[in-house]
A = this chain, B = another copy of it.
């Protein structure tokens, strides 16, 4: 068998597709590259994984560096290993996506990026490296999992209206839903609780504010419940 030392010549990176939701618009956090290659192009935030660092830790580190937040929803999506995807050598990258409440953070220039911006997913048609392909893979997985796991809440403020929740689903999945049927479905699940608060300062009847009830969700799952939109 070939001497395995021959092979310890690759690098591992992590790229993190950070999704945020903003009033009917799904956005991702992009950085403008400050060095070659792809100088000046928009790219996904990512970095090489340290030799003694777990993959997930790297993904969290990247996000923390840009936003100073931690404990966000993080999901591994796919690994991209194209031989010539990086000009400096063999770099395999593990793609993750994160879901954050966009309103509660303001990304800042950092070690990784002088310029950083929330960009509407639908306006993106190119990114540095193979990052456009990576973003699309993450978007596809988000669409799929949004229907099968209660992760939509991660993109909303802690308290949200049912209309906001519905708009989130409509935006990401890309089809419009019936208001009454949507509410019926959600409330039948019994996994959101009424906060007994209301919107303020809106020029119409104020909506009730709800929050995701994680305890209830866990109990329901134990009893055989499976989330599905």
Contact = CB atoms under 8 A, between A and B. Distances in A.
Interface of A: 1-2, 4, 7-12, 35, 48-55, 76, 78-79, 81-83, 88-90, 92, 94, 111
Contacts of A81: 12, 49, 54-55, 94
A162 B41 CA distance: 54
Chain A contact residues, majority secondary structure = loop
A8 B7 contact: no
A12 B50 CA distance: 15
A92 B50 CA distance: 12
Contacts of A82: 54
A147 to B, nearest CB: 11
A79 to B, nearest CB: 4
The 6 closest A-B pairs by CB, nearest first: A55-B81, A7-B11, A79-B79, A7-B48, A8-B11, A79-B94
A1 B55 contact: no
A10 B51 contact: yes
B12 A92 contact: yes
A4 B79 contact: no
Contact of A79 (B2, B8, B76): B76
A4 B92 CA distance: 14
A11 B50 CA distance: 13
A153 to B, nearest CB: 22
Contact of A88 (B4, B88, B90): B4
A79 B51 contact: no
Contacts of A2: 48
